[in-house]
Structure 1
């Protein structure tokens, strides 16, 4: 990474093409690009190809290796999950579990990386509890959760037909998560 072009990896979505969660993640990644970052999206289609993580020693699949390499290369990460029954989706949790492949790295998991969180849910309770669950996992995985996490209530539809946020406050939330991840990645690079 150069101090001016950090790589931000977006991880999340659902297995449903065009999900609100993946649209929100893509929106945040566009905001990161506008802030000068390079981005990479590992969305629902990618997550659906990940086998259930098996912690026993063995050969990692190609998608599992791709995920581990993407996170190793990242200067920052944005995780987006729907809020299912008060917590993150199984495919997002499986992706996070898969990062156990990095456990023996000099900088395992999210070590020293800023990690932003986006949650979409049909209600504020699920959005809030999911946000806290994901932030707790980021701490456990040695990452730096950004001070702000986006919690979006998807009950009335988040995006219009053109893919823009219906509510300015939602666009602001997504841009704020992106800005904080990019800014923290630059600060870390400057401190090296």
Structure 2
């Protein structure tokens, strides 16, 4: 099984990208987690689209299409998902109708990490609203929202909190089980 893990953050030291790297290391045997970011995707502009879909969008689209499932990690900015993630999804949904073709029926799970104390519940809710429009097959068996992420990861982005590690491992295993059930 191949899971594409998409980080909604661009920062080199992103705790959300670190969370996805940790998920890749904790994935069950036989499961590959391919961590990707939205680097290189320009701001959506219809004039740019008219000239052709940017290569970074096409590359990410093909990687999502080839994956069995999608795991998205989102930061929470101002009580919602970051603009860079929404922008990436907007590009992936172009031309019109592409969002449903790409994401329709794709098993999808959401995670998120934040330095704050309330997790990423509002960002995940906002993201669900956007992805529902595409027809993703959401795994509602679990949600993972990591609070106070500065204490959970070390300076090198390594997951150092045993409780969060156990929660992440259980989350990934549950999602993999959901994807397996869908494919049988």
Q: What TM-score results when the alignment is normalised by the length of structure 2?
A: 0.84
Change over 3 Å in CA distance of 1:137–1:124 after alignment to 2:
farther
The unaligned stretches of length 5 or more in structure 2 are none
- Conservation of the 8 A alpha-carbon contact between 1:102 and 1:108: no
Alpha carbons of structure 1 residues 180 and 136: separation in structure 2 relative to 1, 3 Å: farther
Match of 1:11, SS state, is: strand
From 126, 129, 140, the counterpart of 2:133: 140
Which whole-Å CA distance do the structure 2 matches of 1:105 and 1:16 have between them? 28
Q: Give runs of aligned pairs for residues 74-113 of structure 1, distance below 5 A.
A: 74-101=67-94, 104=97, 108-113=101-106
Paired residue secondary structure (1:16)? coil
Listed as ranges, the matches of 1:36-185 within 5 Å are: 36-43=30-37, 47-55=38-46, 56-101=49-94, 104=97, 108-125=101-118, 127-147=120-140, 148-154=142-148, 156-161=150-155, 163-185=157-179
Unaligned runs of 5+ in 1: 1-5
Quote the Cα distance in structure 2 between the aligned partners of 1:180 and 1:27.
Answer: 16
RMSD value over aligned CA atoms? 2.4
Structure 1 stretches of at least 4 aligned residues deviating more than 6 Å after TM superposition: none
Q: Give the equivalent residue in structure 2 for 1:10.
A: 5
**Distance in 1 between residues matched to 2:138 and 2:95, nearest whole Å:** 19
Following TM superposition, by how much is the alpha carbon of 1:20 offset from its aligned partner in structure 2, in angstroms? 0.9
- Where does residue 25 of structure 1 map in the other structure? 20
Q: Using the alignment, how far apart are the partners of 1:35 and 1:138 within structure 2?
A: 29
Deviations, residues 64-121 of structure 1 (Å, cap 9, x unaligned): 1001111111110110111111111121112211221375469613211211111112
Contact conserved, 2:106 with 2:137, CA < 8 A, in 1? yes
Query: Could you tell me how far apart the structure 2 residues matched to 1:126 and 1:38 are?
Result: 26
